[in-house]
Amino acid sequence: MKYDVLVIAGTTESRQVIEKELNKGRRVLASVATDLGAEMLSDYDIDLHVGRLDEQGFISLLQEKPCGEIIDASHPFAAIVTETVRKAAESLGIPYHRYDRREIQYDYQNIFRVENVEEAVALLNQMEGNILLTTGANTAAVYARGVEKAVDRVFVRVLDTPASYEACARAGYPADHVIGQMPPYNLQDNLQLIRQLDARVMVSKDSGRTGGVDVKVEACRQAGIPMILIARPHS
């Protein structure tokens, strides 16, 4: 059975893409990495593939379930996924389109923009006080290795899932330095956490309004602390 489009999903934007394609009367196959991602799409009349895939995995999926085009609506920081899907599409000669979140400018003078995690770590080592990471569990180990006195200074907000806690434990974070919560986070959520931890700086990826960055910026402004903002990967 041929599908009109394969949507690489798991974000709010991917739901918008799927709704648009369904409204056109198109047959949609969506690929998500986790059961949580699948649950987000349970209300749509689409077919799903659940599970992480490498390049050969995507090729096999597309050979088994041919699609007319691919719309990549994965997270803007999922650079490996984007590159993997793009290569699979190129290998099979399938049109590929990247759906990007709209970038916004934040009206706060105390934002330090960096290109990557390594630059963020270097900047943190020039600062004092507690650090609130809101960049997730995937890069938590990099900060644990690179930030001076990380075991004392760094607090990590992650998704409230076993995988997140396990990743932080492997990286060496004490249990009371790992805050498991589920988005979305509002202004008061961010402010309360900053004050609770006596955070002197917040680190965030520039994942846009959909990623709650505008609310994080406002929380930093009201708390009077700087933010380190990591730029999106170049697609």
φ/ψ of 232, rounded to 5, equals: -70, 145
Tell me which CATH code domain 3-98 carries. Answer: 3.40.50.720
Numbered ranges of CATH 3.40.50.620 in the chain: 111-230
Numbered ranges of CATH 3.40.50.720 in the chain: 3-98
* pLDDT per residue of the chain (235 residues) written in tens, 0 to 9: 689 999 999 777 788 899 999 999 999 999 998 887 888 898 999 999 999 999 999 999 999 999 999 999 887 777 788 899 999 999 999 999 988 766 677 889 999 999 899 999 999 999 999 999 999 999 999 999 999 999 999 999 999 999 999 999 999 999 999 999 988 899 999 999 999 999 999 999 988 877 789 999 999 999 999 999 998 776 5
Residue that has been written with the tokens 């930093």 in this structure: 220
Distances (CA, A) of 79 to 23, 72, 104, 145, 235: 29, 11, 20, 22, 7
Q: Decide if 211 contacts 134 (C-beta within 8 A).
A: no
Smallest Cα–Cα separation from 14: which of 96, 71, 86?
71
Is the pTM higher than 0.85? The answer reads no
Measured distance CA(216)–CA(71) in Å, rounded: 29
In words, the CATH class of domain 111-230 is alpha beta
